[in-house]
């Protein structure tokens, strides 16, 4: 228990979590400085003995993209130092043409990614497991794919009106193969 609050269950977390983080923190821990929460997050992350695992179908999807000549880019709110450690451990660096980390508001960052990488928004797909991801994709005018089972409830994801909803990344490989 921290700050006099009980821990959230996974369902409670998924029903309330949102990006930018500051909005989530304001709703669950009003008045606690973001710098203090960032420090606590980093401490817990660094001390955690849980290993990060690649989502089912992710490597197949990334290989499919590479073999098909589709560029793959990462836009994530993860702290850069955590991404570097995880991507080296999981050998993910070989797949991404460019990586954007610490993107706290992806609605802003996605436009930079599209401009920096000279992407055509009509030929770009943004895949995410959070309502904020789908909103970011919509704000940039790209095709959006919602993957169920992440940090946001299915209800919240559907409210954001993604162009495609999938249960796992294998389904996205199948979808892209059929196009």
Q: In terms of pLDDT, which residue wins out, 63 or 27?
A: 63
pLDDT classification of 9: cutoffs 50, 70, 90: confident
104 pLDDT more than 60: yes
Look at residue 49 in the predicted model and tell me its pLDDT: 73
What does the alpha-carbon distance between residue 120 and residue 129 come to, in Å, rounded to a whole number?
Answer: 23
Contact present, 168 and 149 (Cβ < 8 Å): yes
**Which residues contact residue 9 at a Cβ distance below 8 angstroms, ignoring those fewer than 6 apart?**
none
Contact present, 152 and 16 (Cβ < 8 Å): no
Residue 102 CA: distances (Å) to CA of 15, 28, 117, 162: 23, 21, 18, 23
Percent of the chain whose predicted confidence (pLDDT) is above 70: 99
Each residue's pLDDT tens digit, 52-96: 788 889 999 999 999 999 999 999 998 898 899 889 889 998 999
Average pLDDT of the chain is 89
132 pLDDT more than 80: yes
119-146 average pLDDT score: 96
163 pLDDT more than 80: yes
Look at residue 1 in the predicted model and tell me its pLDDT: 54
Look at residue 93 in the predicted model and tell me its pLDDT: 87
Phi, psi angle pair for 143, to nearest 5°? -70, 130
Which regions of the chain carry the CATH code 3.40.50.1000? 58-177
DSSP string, 13-40: HHHH--SSHHHHHHHHSTTS-HHHHHHH
48 pLDDT more than 80: no
The CATH number of the domain covering residues in 58-177: 3.40.50.1000
On the 0-12 / 13-18 / 19+ scale of CB atoms within 10 A, 101 is middle
């Amino acid at each position: 228990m921290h700050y006099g609050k009980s821990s959230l269950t996974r369902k409670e977390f998924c029903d309330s979590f949102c990006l930018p983080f500051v909005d989530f923190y304001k709703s669950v821990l009003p008045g606690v400085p973001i710098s203090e929460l960032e420090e606590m997050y980093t401490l817990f992350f660094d001390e955690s003995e849980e290993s990060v695992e690649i989502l089912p179908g992710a490597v197949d999807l990334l290989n499919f993209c590479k073999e098909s000549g589709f560029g793959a880019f990462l836009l994530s709110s993860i702290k850069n130092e955590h991404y570097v450690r995880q991507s080296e451990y999981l050998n993910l660096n070989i797949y991404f043409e460019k990586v954007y980390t610490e993107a706290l508001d992806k609605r802003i960052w996605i436009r930079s990614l599209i401009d920096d990488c000279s992407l055509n928004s009509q030929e770009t797909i943004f895949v995410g497991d959070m309502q904020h991801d789908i909103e970011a994709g919509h704000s940039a005018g790209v095709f959006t794919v919602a993957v169920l089972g992440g940090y946001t409830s299915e209800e919240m994801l559907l409210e954001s009106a993604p162009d495609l909803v999938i249960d796992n990344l294998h389904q996205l490989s199948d979808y892209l193969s059929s196009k």
